[in-house]
């Protein structure tokens, strides 16, 4: 059950960590109060709960980007409740987070930024492509990397897809001045990969197996699937490109061979 929650519904597993941490901290504080009479402040209790929730998330195998969320969720609530902010400020903050992280719930993909080292290595990879190549960034975020690569290769055709509304708006505005780059409000699962020579993604572990099946079904032989950091379970990449960034991450490159995944032959 835990594995199913982790793979399919990580937000529910994170919520479970929060609830368990609240219960454990409450029980411990009741015990300490009965034994010594010591009562911590509300913020001290919240910080203890956040640390416990973050630890539970790591122990249960949640992706690393859940660590700060679990850590600051309850302390942030306490800070918001005890501050003198007007009611509309809470609604505004909630709407902002919702518009930025919309696809974290449906597609299980948080907002990741590729970084300068990744952009440099992607540029080197694209240098080996023929003129007029087509590149798509699945979940392009703010489209910084996408737009700079489009400027570097004016003969290439660049597409970004994004479904977080506010993030999409920023990405779309950034791409407008570029004649060879466009950003679409489109799910990566509804993006046809057949026309692209290079497919780049920086997602999370959760969708990689399904993305691999989609890539096998749609991408042309010789096209490249490039994933920042996250591997396809059970499928060795054709090439690994280390990135000298603070995460010590890597680009994983698969060259498609035209094989059709089992069960899709009759539908291709």
Domain chopping of the chain, boundaries: 2-84, 116-255
Question: For the CA atoms of the chain, what is the radius of gyration?
Answer: 22
CATH number of 116-255: 3.40.50.150
Residue the block writes with tokens 């990405």? 171
CB–CB of 212/235 below 8 Å? yes
Is the model's pLDDT at 63 over the cut of 80? Answer: no
Cβ atoms of 13 and 6 closer than 8 Å: yes
pLDDT digits 0-9 by tens, 66-99: 788 888 888 887 877 777 666 556 556 656 555 5
pLDDT tens digits along 182-208: 999 998 999 999 999 999 999 888 789
Element (H, E) at 216: helix 208-218
């Amino acid at each position: 059950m835990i594995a199913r929650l982790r793979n399919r519904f990580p937000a529910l597993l994170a919520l479970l960590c929060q609830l368990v941490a609240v219960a454990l901290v409450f029980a411990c504080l009741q015990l300490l109060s009965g034994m010594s009479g010591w009562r911590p402040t509300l913020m001290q209790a919240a910080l203890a709960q956040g640390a416990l929730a973050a630890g539970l998330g790591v122990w249960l195998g949640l992706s690393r980007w859940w660590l700060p969320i679990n850590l600051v969720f309850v302390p942030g609530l306490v800070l918001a409740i005890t501050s003198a902010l007007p009611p509309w400020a809470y609604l505004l903050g909630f709407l902002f987070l919702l518009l930025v992280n919309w696809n974290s719930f449906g597609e299980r993909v948080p907002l990741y930024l590729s970084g300068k080292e990744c952009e440099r290595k992607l540029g080197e990879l694209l240098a080996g492509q023929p003129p007029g190549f087509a590149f798509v960034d699945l979940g392009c975020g703010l489209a910084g990397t996408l737009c700079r690569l489009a400027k570097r290769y004016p003969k290439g055709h660049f597409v970004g897809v994004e479904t977080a509304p506010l993030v999409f708006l920023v990405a779309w505005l950034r791409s407008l001045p570029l004649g060879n780059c466009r950003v679409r409000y489109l799910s990566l699962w509804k993006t046809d990969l057949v026309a692209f020579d290079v497919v780049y993604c920086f997602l999370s572990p959760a969708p990689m197996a399904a993305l691999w099946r989609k890539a096998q079904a749609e991408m042309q032989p010789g096209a490249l699937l490039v994933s920042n950091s996250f591997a396809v379970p059970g499928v060795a990449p054709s090439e690994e490109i280390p990135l000298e960034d603070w995460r010590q991450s890597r680009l994983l490159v698969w060259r498609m061979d035209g094989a059709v995944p089992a069960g899709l032959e009759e539908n291709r």
